[in-house]
Amino acid sequence: GENVEQHPSTLSVQEGDSAVIKCTYSDSASNYFPWYKQELGKRPQLIIDIRSNVGEKKDQRIAVTLNKTAKHFSLHITETQPEDSAVYFCAASMNRDDKIIFGKGTRLHILP
Amino acid sequence: DTGVSQDPRHKITKRGQNVTFRCDPISEHNRLYWYRQTLGQGPEFLTYFQNEAQLEKSRLLSDRFSAERPKGSFSTLEIQRTEQGDSAMYLCASSLGKGSYGYTFGSGTRLTVV
């Protein structure tokens, strides 16, 4: 079955700097790669996703890149703000409504 | 309809007891998913439904776990003979299906087995 690896497990960046989280997946049949943000004590919320027919997608300060050949995908957050502090999960799936396999998460700390 | 609802929010039970959780998905969402999340880990897939049909159950799930969605609307997850290792947040999510907008998660049920 699918296995998603995520790193780093913890990331601290100065406010205003960029943050990058990287993931790899094992199943070449995966076609959908969502990213979720989970604040302490709250539910995971979808922040951006990308399909395998697209190499990059951007939404304001957030961007995702996908290298399907290498089975790598990454989340980039620019101009980080205090409210970006949270745990971020990458995930992989066949489609948007199939079962999703999550990585173990990256705890992002934005330092003042 | 304000989202995916889960009940109860918290459950403390003694080891060996049975527990049942309920999930009410967003109206008209055909797919419903159950995940388990332990501290410091990502959500772990348990099972999911298309309407009333259970499409897949994780191989990691023991026979003590069972889920139903009898009328294709709400779902229940039952854990029999609970063990301390079952302590976790149990998350439910739903989606429209047909490759639509992806999941919406509920707030979860936190289970503590003492």
Q: Say whether A99 and B107 touch across the interface (CB within 8 A).
A: no
Chain segment B45-67, per-residue pLDDT in tens: 999 999 999 999 998 788 999 99
CB contacts < 8 A (A, B): 54
A62-67 β-sheet, strand order = A4-7, A19-25, A72-77, A62-67, A56-59
pLDDT at A7: 96
pLDDT at B72: 86
Residues 26-85 of A with CB under 8 A from B: 34, 42-46, 49
Residue A56 to residue B97: CA distance in whole angstroms: 24
* Predicted confidence pLDDT, tens digits, chain B (114 residues): 569 999 999 999 999 999 999 999 999 899 999 999 999 899 999 999 999 999 999 987 889 999 999 988 999 999 999 999 999 999 999 998 766 667 899 999 999 999
pLDDT at B99: 64
Query: Residues of chain A with pLDDT > 70: what percent?
Result: 100
| Nearest CA among B23, B60, B54, B55 for reference residue B41 | B60
pLDDT at A50: 92
Q: At A95, is the pLDDT very low, low, confident or very high (cuts 50, 70, 90)?
A: confident
Q: Tell me which residue has tokens 């029999």.
A: B80
Nearest to B91 among A43, A46, A104 (CB): A43
B41 to chain A, any CB pair closer than 8 A? The answer is yes
Residue A79 to residue B46: CA distance in whole angstroms: 37
Residue A8 to residue A106: CA distance in whole angstroms: 6
Q: Residue A42: its chain B contacts at CB < 8 A?
A: 107
